[in-house]
Amino acid sequence: MAVPLLEREWSPASTQTTDTIEPKWQVRFNDGKRRNSRHSLLSRIWYWQSRPSMRDDHYTHDYYAAPLDDDDDSEDLPKPTLARQPRGVNYSPMLRWLRRSLLRLPLYILMLFGILHLILVVYGRKPLLWDNRKDDVEIPDWATDLQALTHYATDPTRDVQPIPCHSHNDYWRRIPLFDALRYGCTSVEADVWGYDENDDLFVGHSTASLTPTRTFKGLYVDPLVKLLDKMNPSTSFGDTKGHGVFDEDPHQTLVLLVDFKTEGHTLFQRVQEQLEPLRKRNYLTYWNGDKVISRAITVVGTGETPFDLIIANQTYRDIFFDAPLELMYEPPSGGGQVHAAVMPHDGKEKKRGQGQEGTAHLTADAFNASNSYYASVSMTSAIGIPWSGRFSAHQLERIRGQIRGAQQRGLKARYWETPAWPTSLRNYVWELLVREGTDMLNVDHLKAAVSKDWGRVGHGLFDA
């Protein structure tokens, strides 16, 4: 008699029982000793999660039945039982590719940043390992009341070297006015709003940013009065008057650029009234009808500042105008003759940011040192952005001609709305403007401008 090749050893004695032989997986799960164990529970979960779909080709025998003789009593033999072998989950090719890609993604990102870092090292914009430079300027704590700085009268700006940079949107800084002075900027900007129902003038970039506590007097006029009083003490050691805000250069004036945001003719008189504490202490630069007398603070009006009100007084002025630089282009072969372009006037609203109120149909010859201080223009609109990374020859000549025309009139050329990113483009524009002789650098990042290390990149993710 042939014996079936079952997993369990078969003997004739086993046919005397009614028990059937179970496949391995069924015996494993029915084992009473492991039924309630953690291993048994995990095994059950694994089986039911990984079993194949109910198709005929997924069913296999876990034994081979031996052929039986015709005279054997096959009814006494156990019935063959089909068993399903556990199988792993079959993923589609797309899911397998996605899984491999996700596992490799962190490696690809690290390789990308490594390549970018090596490129910056080759071009000299990054150190190979780490940067030991110390860029922080050691200055007094500006959050401390000035009365607490009593070692020397001029301690508030001790060791601060003034440089020709303009703190753009200065009121956004952590400490308006004093953050700019901390780095030595000689020009600060305040956007001023006036409303009839309130005597105060408010400072902010837009009406949504205005608050009752952030006023022109509180943020700029009163702090400047307090600082200059500190820098010009009354002592028995001689004349201490006429000292500016910078101890390193007492004769350096600080420009207060006031951007008129509401109707200029109404706001002009109110700004003059707010400046009275500085005026009565002789801290304001003024024109006396014959020449300009430089003092610690020079007030310049831009935005909606009315030019006609500035020139109305022929004997005294202490608010000067921000003239349009785009009118002052002088060609290289001008022979000293300034190109007197006419201010365009087509009835459309001009781009805000510099003085244009009351300047319709005026030529460049209307602006000079007796009524204006800056000659400014948006670089984006007047010159354009060097998208290739460098200015074209035509753009360079326009920059040079505008600077020539402004300086011949005794005005200081200033470009606003210069590129801020990427950092290499910003640094290129700064370096070029300084090289071409611009008088004031309009900046947002004070530390980067003051360091003058414009060949290197110090911040940002993809600054290159």
- Which domains are present in the chain? 12-76 (no CATH), 92-132 (no CATH), 147-451 (3.20.20.190)
**pLDDT tens digit sequence for 196-224:** 777 899 999 999 989 999 999 999 999 99
Q: Residue 246 pLDDT > 80, yes or no?
A: yes
CA distance 175 to 330: 40
Q: How far is residue 284's CA from residue 253's CA, in Å, rounded to a whole number?
A: 9
- DSSP per-residue codes, 24-70: HHHHHHH-TTTTTSHHHHHHHHHHHHHPPPS-GGG-B-SSBPPP--T
| CA nearest to 423, candidates 438, 444, 400 | 444
Contacts of residues 345-354 at CB distance under 8 Å and 24 or more positions apart, as own/partner, are 351/378, 351/381, 352/303, 353/259, 353/302, 353/303, 353/378, 353/416, 353/417, 354/302, 354/303, 354/322, 354/324, 354/378, 354/416
Task: Tell me, rounded to whole angstroms, the distance of Cα 237 from its chain centroid.
Answer: 48
pLDDT tens digits for range 325-375:
999 999 886 554 444 454 444 444 445 555 566 666 788 999 999 999 999
| Pairwise CA distance, residues 243 & 87, whole Å | 89
Residue 285, both tokens:
């630069």
The two tokens of residue 2 are 């042939």
| Mean pLDDT of all residues belonging to the chain | 77
Residue type, 248: E
Band (pLDDT 50/70/90 cuts) for residue 456 is very low
By CB atoms closer than 10 A (0-12, 13-18, 19+), residue 301 is buried
Of the listed ranges 228-242, 304-318, 420-434, the one predicted with least confidence: 228-242
Q: What is the pTM of this model?
A: 0.66
Query: Is pLDDT above 70 for 29?
Result: no
Give residue 160's pLDDT band: very low, low, confident or very high (50, 70, 90). confident
Q: Helix (H) and strand (E) counts for the chain?
A: 13, 11
User: Is residue 114 very low, low, confident or very high in pLDDT (cuts 50, 70, 90)?
Assistant: confident
CB under 8 Å to 328, separation ≥6 — which residues? 338, 339, 341, 364, 367, 375, 402, 405, 406, 409, 411
- Residue 338's pLDDT is what? 45
The 10 Å CB-count burial string (b at 16+, else e) for 66-94 is eeeeeeeeeeebbeeeebeeeeeeeeeee
pLDDT in tens, 64-99: 455 555 555 555 555 555 555 555 556 678 888 888
Helices (H), 188-339: 216, 222-231, 264-274, 276-280, 307-310
Looking at 67-145, which runs of residues are DSSP E strands?
A: none
Residue 283 token pair:
């801290």
Name the percent of the chain in helix, strand, coil, to the closest 5: 35, 15, 50
